[in-house]
Structure formats: C-alpha cells, structure tokens
Structure 1
Amino acid sequence: MTDAEKIARAHEIFDPIAERYLARPGVDLGRMFGSEGIRIRGKVFALISFGGELMLKLPAARTVELVETGDAVRVEMAGRSMREWVFVAIEMPTMWEPLIAEAFAYLDEITPAG
C-alpha cells in the first residue's frame, strides 16, 4: 500500500471519529506538524501523519505502555523522542477510536479553559 493509499484509508477511519468530536464544545480542527488534526481549546490531540498513521498525544506512562506492547511507535522529531506522542499503524484500526478517546480526555484535563 502506498503512502497515499494509507492516508486515504486512514481518513476513512479517522474522519467519522473526528466528526463526532467536532460536535463537542471547544473542539475544532487545527494544523500541527503540517497535518490537520482534532484539537481541544487549541491543543491538538489526534491527527493523521504523512505516512497514514494515527498520531496521538497521551500521558507519558501510557505511551511507554503502548510502545512496550508493540501497539504503537514513539514519535521522533529531529532525532528527539517525543515522550507524549505515538504513532498507531493503519493495520490496528480497532485501537484508533479508544485511543483517540484517551487522548481527548488527557488534553481536555490538562488544557485550561480560556
């Protein structure tokens, strides 16, 4: 599967989930890392990467757990490991919705209301 095919498939999974979040107060779409993602009060919690993976912000301990079980890969930017960001592969679509819910709950908790 090419990256373009992965991205198209990722959006087939992600977009309906994102639509449900967009109905919530304080949730909208915004740009981050060159992609559009779902955000709460201006902070992105989930997006589709250029490779078609789901990219999420979760508590550091949760990212360690997901990486250790092989369910996710830690995000690296400019050679630096991002402790609260992981990629979840397109081959694990059943994990996407519950992990997006976790990411939303985490960012909702730590992002102050404006």
Structure 2
Amino acid sequence: MPIDHHAVERGDKRLEALADDYLNRPGVDWGRMFSTTGLRVRGKVFGLVNHAGNLMVKIPKARADALEATGTATRVTMSGKTMREWVEMPYPAGEDAWRALLDEAYTYLDETTPRS
C-alpha cells in the first residue's frame, strides 16, 4: 500500500499531542518500528501511526478480536500475515477513541514487558 503522506502527517500530529501523558511515565520514549516512530515502554512499541495515517497498537488477542468484531478496529496484515495482537483504528474514530485505545496498549505492554 502506498504511503499517504497527508494522512500520516495528520495522524502523527494527533499521536504527538497524546504522547505527552505517556512520555512523563517511567520507561516511556519514542522508538523505531515498522519503518516509523512510535511510543514504547521499556523498548517495546505499543502505539504508532502507520503508513495510512491510522493508529496502530498492540493489545491482547482477545481484545483485538472484540474490536474487530464490532468494526471499531481492524487487524493489521503485513506481508500477507495477519498479526494477532496488532490492530489499527482509523483517524476519523477521533482523538478520544485513539486515547482510549492507546491507554489499553500502554497498559498491556507495561504489564507484560519485564522491568530491569
């Protein structure tokens, strides 16, 4: 899929605005993944804006199943492989929906990523 630069820029601005709350937490910073930059906790990316300008997050498989079933988010497919814990939410879902999903992703990775 070609990169939609306008959509990515718009999504990046929203994610940057939402990021401040997370960047004040221990172990959270920006890092590279899937040829873009995303928020990560202790080195594990939990949220980023993909090449379509959508929010992409890692959440538990059961929650991803539920979001997909309601049409709230869609599973991410890369190189023909559907990722079981990665979903994307479109920009039009709104800032509040992005914030809620980002919170879920942060909580999931914070709980499952070992602390040094």
**In the alignment, which residue of structure 2 is the partner of 1:44?**
45
Q: CA deviation at 1:8?
A: 1.8
**In the alignment, which residue of structure 1 is the partner of 2:101?**
99
- Equivalent residue runs for 1:6-85 within 5 Å: 6-85=7-86
Distance in 1 between residues matched to 2:79 and 2:6, nearest whole Å: 26
How far does the alpha carbon of each residue in 1:17-74 deviate from its partner, in whole angstroms, 9 at most, with x for none?
1122111110011000001000000000000001101000000000001111001110
User: Per the alignment, in what secondary structure is the counterpart of residue 91 of structure 1?
Assistant: helix
Q: CA deviation at 1:12?
A: 2.4
Q: Where does the alignment leave 5 or more consecutive residues of structure 1 unmatched?
A: none
Matched residue type, 1:98: A
Alignment TM-score, normalising by the size of structure 1: 0.95
Distance in 2 between residues matched to 1:44 and 1:12, nearest whole Å: 18
Distance in 2 between residues matched to 1:70 and 1:107, nearest whole Å: 23
Distance in 2 between residues matched to 1:66 and 1:19, nearest whole Å: 25
**In the alignment, which residue of structure 2 is the partner of 1:88?**
89
Aligned residues, how many? 113
Distance in 1 between residues matched to 2:14 and 2:21, nearest whole Å: 12
Distance in 1 between residues matched to 2:46 and 2:104, nearest whole Å: 9
Q: Where does the alignment leave 5 or more consecutive residues of structure 2 unmatched?
A: none
